A and B are shown apart, each in its own frame.
Chain A
Amino acid sequence: MSREISTCPLRLRHYPGHLEPEYAYTLGIAGERFFREIKENARIMGAKCKKCGKIYVPPKLYCEECFEKLEEWVDVGTKGTVYTFTISFLDEHGEKLEKPEIYALIKFKGTYGGIVHRLGEVKPENVRIGMKVQAVFKPLTERKGTINDIAYFKPIME
């Protein structure tokens, strides 16, 4: 999609290369707590700055604004509002998706930040900014402590 090549570079002189970087990204103090709560208790946690009062979702160890250390944890619930969304018709390789994916930033009342995730149980044409949604967690046995332990967010009645 983002490439418009009329000549295939593979047919010309080149040397093929392949990088295979592998990492184990450390979740950190805030990340570990966040994902453990999602995995074990199906809870979404934020971290509160005692100086400015902002509740960060996802939680961080520090406040972006005040540079304070955040030590107070807050359960922010599993219901939120669609702040913005898109319908993606292409997959991660730029190929056309059979079924488009809906991505959204979901904000939680009284908090700062939110969660970027997929929406489910809704037709793309019915999604609106401001729509109320709720996290749908995978069954406990399938949860691994990642953001994908939330399967998607689905619309709810207010």
Chain B
Amino acid sequence: MKDVAVVGVGCVGFRPVTPELSYKELMFEAAMRAYEDAGVNPRKDIDAFITCAEDYWEGFSIFDEFVPDQLGAVLKHLFTVSADGLFGLITAYMLIKTGHFDIVAVEAHSKASDILTYEGIVNFAFDPIFNRPLGGHPYYVAGMEMNRYLCETGTTLEQCAMVAVKNKRNALANPHACYGANITVKDVLCSECQFYPLKKLEISPLSDGCIVTVLASEDVATKLTDKPVWIRGVGWCTETPCLETRDWGRAVYTELAAEMAYKTAGIKNPVKEIDFAEVCDMFAYKELQHLEALKLCRRGEAGNLVEEGVTQRDGELPVNPSGGMLGMGYALEASGLQRVLEAVLQLRGEAGKRQLPEVETGVVQTWRGIPTATGAVVVLSK
């Protein structure tokens, strides 16, 4: 079967607010950049379009209907995946694998600054009978999960804080990141404790932005670009939605998604075969939990990796050289594509000041946030 490559990426953002652009204009700008990057005309060349969006984030029903015009997809084959952008990318990969489509565009965005009651929307994702009536700020689930993760693995508060320090520093070299900062472990640990043991500086702030990627089948990809980035493996998994029965110490959803992705990619030893990782760090401890789930270290060892500098940009296994979500902001369903964007730029050698030397293969992972136990993993290679 033919391979599939990312042949174009376009990005707008990421910023805390985008007062001058509507969500449609945000999408239009990112799409223009992606099509220009891929060298394709959406009205002629693109066979299908996928948007990743959730009605409640957008503030109106049946968001699918509000999509085609700003992407150049009117009268074309288009649908919405109600999930993180990485699920859209995986869906596009499968469409191309069917042999019926040669070029597919995938879009995900965040206009989080339009949401005036963010906490309320997240609360609305809780089980309406067993959990939601308790009320409270929805991030209490993150505090509970971090506490259990620390208890089971012996990971320290300092090690979690180091993730925030590293990622915010990495973000300083990323023009797409708006939350870069030069801070210390002490700054993180002394920041407001919001959901014990989780501190304010360990929580990704919201951001606005949009990413569009263009995928193509092997023959078309090699004609379009000298630098295709190949999708070698994909995987996804949902654990149980029940807070009561899920595993609180491990990211099982990512363990299984990674297993699937490594299997499709033919990766036997991820530690040796993966050069860098872009993972979900919506809360600092999640980066550590996800690295363990991706088998990039043994369980309970991710804290040591960050402490020893292994996951620094110049370390043996750079993690979130983009600055992650702590640095770029939590961009709702665009979070996974933020990771893809960085992986593509790194593999093409176009990451500017933050370029990693000699990278061949990267792994990208996403989690759908509170209160889900859903994740996806994609392996990308030069």
Contact = CB atoms under 8 A, between A and B. Distances in A.
B196 A146 contact: no
B40 interface: no
B205 A103 contact: no
Given A57-B244, A86-B195, A92-B120, A103 B136 contact: yes
B147 A129 contact: yes
Given A2-B205, A93-B119, A115-B244, A147 B140 contact: no
Interface stretch (A17-25, A69-77, A135-143): A17-25
Contact of A5 (B16, B135, B143): B16
Interface band, chain B: 35 or more
B367 interface: no
Nearest to A127: B196
Interface string B104-136: 000000001110011110010000111101111
A12 to B, nearest CB: 4
A103 B140 contact: yes
Given A64-B240, A84-B145, A116-B243, A9 B137 contact: no
B17 A91 contact: no
A92 B244 contact: no
A90 B242 contact: no
Contacts of A120: none
Nearest to B135: A92
B179 interface: yes
Contacts of A113: 242, 244-245
B363 to A, nearest CB: 27
Interface string A80-108: 00011111111111100000010111000
A118 B133 CA distance: 12
Given A1-B194, A89-B194, A31 B118 contact: no
B244 A2 contact: no
Interface string B73-87: 000000000000000
B192 to A, nearest CB: 7
B330 A86 contact: no
Contact of B130 (A4, A14, A23, A58): A58
B19 interface: yes
Contact of B194 (A58, A90, A115): A90
B123 A1 contact: no
Contacts of A14: 114
B190 interface: no
Contacts of B17: 5-7, 9
Given A9-B113, A64-B245, A112-B245, A88 B136 contact: yes
A68 B338 CA distance: 40
B151 interface: yes
A149 B117 CA distance: 27
Interface string A11-51: 01110010100010101000100000000000000000000
A17 B56 CA distance: 12
**Max chain A C-beta neighbours (<10 A), residue from B19, B205, B240:** B19
A114 interface: yes
Contact of B196 (A13, A58, A86, A148): A86
A137 to B, nearest CB: 15
B227 interface: no
A123 interface: no
Nearest to A90: B137
A115 B19 CA distance: 42
B133 A146 contact: yes
In the A-B complex, list the 8 residue pairs whose CB atoms are closest, starting with the nearest: A86-B143, A84-B148, A113-B244, A87-B196, A12-B19, A25-B128, A90-B137, A88-B140
12 contacts: A2-B204, A5-B113, A23-B128, A64-B240, A84-B148, A88-B137, A94-B119, A105-B248, A116-B131, A129-B151, A147-B130, A148-B133
Given A4-B16, A103-B134, 7 more contacts: A1-B203, A2-B206, A9-B114, A58-B130, A64-B242, A94-B137, A129-B148
